Amino acid sequence: MNETAAPLVRLEAISKTFSHVKANRDITLDIRAGKIKALLGENGAGKSTLMGILAGRLQPDAGRIIIEGVSQKSYSTKTAIQAGIGMVYQHFMLVDAMTVTENIFLGRKERFWLKPKEMAARVDELITTYGLKIDPLTRISSLSMGERQRVEILKLLHRQSRILILDEPTAVLTPQEIAQLFDAMRAMAAQGKALVFISHKLEEVMEIADEIAILRKGTVVDEMSAESVQSKADLAKRMVGREVLLKVEREPMEPKQVVLRVRGLRDSVLEDISFDLRQGEILGIVGVAGNGQKRLVEVLCGLNAPREGEIKILGEHWMRFFSKKRWDASLSYIPEDRTGVASCLGLDLVDNFLLTTREGFSTGPWLRRTMAEKKLKELMEKFGIQAPHSRITARQLSGGNLQKMVLAREFFRRPRLIVAEQPTQGLDIGATEDVWRILLKARERAGILLITGDLREAMTLCDRIGVMFSGRFMDLFPVTDDEKIEKIGPLMAGLQASS
């Protein structure tokens, strides 16, 4: 790309290696004021590592960072913040015990001079300005993943960073929230701020980006202006190196026995939830984050007990099912929070694989770890998990590869009921296509409850869709009902009750 204006930031000949993993290889990248630069690449391509270096969280093995023409000799998180560089990470950097306001002001000197009400008022002003709706006094521990993402974005907006790095910021946002975020991003670029937008959603990149850089295996393989991209298919081919259409065929399947029955489920969050899920079908739950989806999943997966109503899982009442739950041919849960719930970052991949499958590799008191490692290696190849070997820790995997690791483990258990929470969140376009095919294949022996913020995913995979608002189903209808599909937006906003 030929640009006459000097870059606000230049990453020059950056290299970074983790153990045997070469995350970045001699990368040079310019970031310009007033521009939104999209950073694309498959899972494990090195995008998050490169931006982690720019944010000061990681130190490069080689190369230098140049800000406004000045080479930075000693670079750290403090240096990055002082230079006006801020990053929203895939793995949120929030303190669960603190409120939204306290997290936003954390580390800021001004918090010592402001009263709590004044701080909350400033946060409220940001929320109103950018349309990122959230209660400033709510504790982080009670928020959904989508709401936590909003807090991270608000932290950057409050800091008034002039270089903003957004790592998959739309992964847990609804279409309405994405539109609001894009409006805010355009406004910031118009003010002269530089933005880096990491995303796997190519339609978003084509909508919001001015410039695009593509990484593959730790190297920049292509740079271009967004206006020069002919189509999403062209962009996908450049990124993956092969044609990817993100389209799967959902063959009709006859629903069989009921694997999940919910009647009159109520508590402080949920209101009269009732539905059946059968083997052979996928039921999608959509809605703005924070409207009861998280609580519904927690109850169905045994993390919270139901207070009122009836739940039958694979023909057994909730209490009996969870008192003697077996490891295979039962319930598999794919959590939205892959780092805090689905995995243990400090354990190696074999131990993470055994978290839910150890009974399948046990003989009496003995654990057959070698056998488990052999099976894991097969699954890593099948699911395209990019890792040098199975003994690295989960922390060393990219976000997308960690997600594929969780999926491989849970599908290995041959479940009859699958609760999948944002299963393709953070996955590149090729991996997303693979997961969609796996979910459709899994219908042969399982019923699938899919909680997703991606309406295209819901429309592609689901047989029926339930729209949640304020803890209740606004409507539940087959995906073939075009009239009701058109009303999903208003239903998600609580503007229209079911007929």
Question: How would DSSP label each residue in 92-138?
Answer: ----TTSBHHHHHHTT-GGGGTS-HHHHHHHHHHHHHHHT----TTS
Confidence at residue 350, expressed as pLDDT on a 0 to 100 scale = 97
Q: State phi, psi for 255 to the nearest 5 degrees.
A: -60, 140
When mean pLDDT is compared over 182-186, 217-221, 272-276, the highest value belongs to 272-276
* Tens digit of each residue's pLDDT (9 = 90 or more) over 222-241: 999 999 988 888 888 888 77
Rounded to whole angstroms, how far apart are CA atoms 212 and 329? Answer: 45
Q: What percent of the chain has pLDDT over 70?
A: 95
Quickly state the pLDDT bin for 3 (edges 50, 70, 90): low
As to burial, measured by CB atoms within 10 angstroms (0-12 exposed, 13-18 middle, 19+ buried), residue 59 is exposed
For the chain, which domains are there? Answer: 9-240 (3.40.50.300), 258-492 (3.40.50.300)
The identity of residue 473, as a single letter, is F
Q: Is the dihedral of CA 196, 200, 202, 207 positive or negative?
A: negative
Residue 498, pLDDT score = 46
Confidence band, pLDDT 50/70/90 cuts, at residue 339: confident
The pLDDT, as a whole number, for residue 203 is 87
Nearest 5°: CA angle at 137, between 135 and 138?
A: 70
Per-residue confidence at 112, pLDDT binned at 50, 70, 90? low
Most confident of 5-9, 232-236, 289-293, 482-486: 482-486
Q: What is the mean pLDDT of residues 300-310?
A: 95
What is the pLDDT averaged over residues 173-198? Answer: 84
Question: Which burial class, exposed, middle or buried, applies to 251 when counting CB atoms under 10 A from its CB (0-12, 13-18, 19+)?
Answer: exposed
- Mean pLDDT, range 146-161, rounded to an integer: 84
Q: Is the pLDDT of residue 482 over 70?
A: yes
Mean pLDDT over the full length of the chain: 89
Q: Which amino acid is at 130?
A: Y
Return d(Cα 215, Cα 41) in angstroms, integer: 5
Distance, in Å, from the CA atom of 349 to the CA atom of 377, rounded to the nearest integer, reads 10
Q: Taking the model in full, what pTM does it have?
A: 0.73
The first and second tokens of residue 109, run together, are 């000197």
Q: What is the pLDDT of residues 28-74, one digit of tens each?
A: 999 999 999 999 988 888 998 999 999 999 999 999 999 999 999 88
What pLDDT was estimated at residue 499? 46
pLDDT single digits (tens) 409-456: 999 999 999 999 989 877 777 778 888 988 999 999 999 999 998 888
CB atoms within 10 A of CB 272: 13
Gap between the terminal Cα atoms of the chain: 54
- pLDDT tens digits, 455-478: 889 999 999 999 999 999 999 999
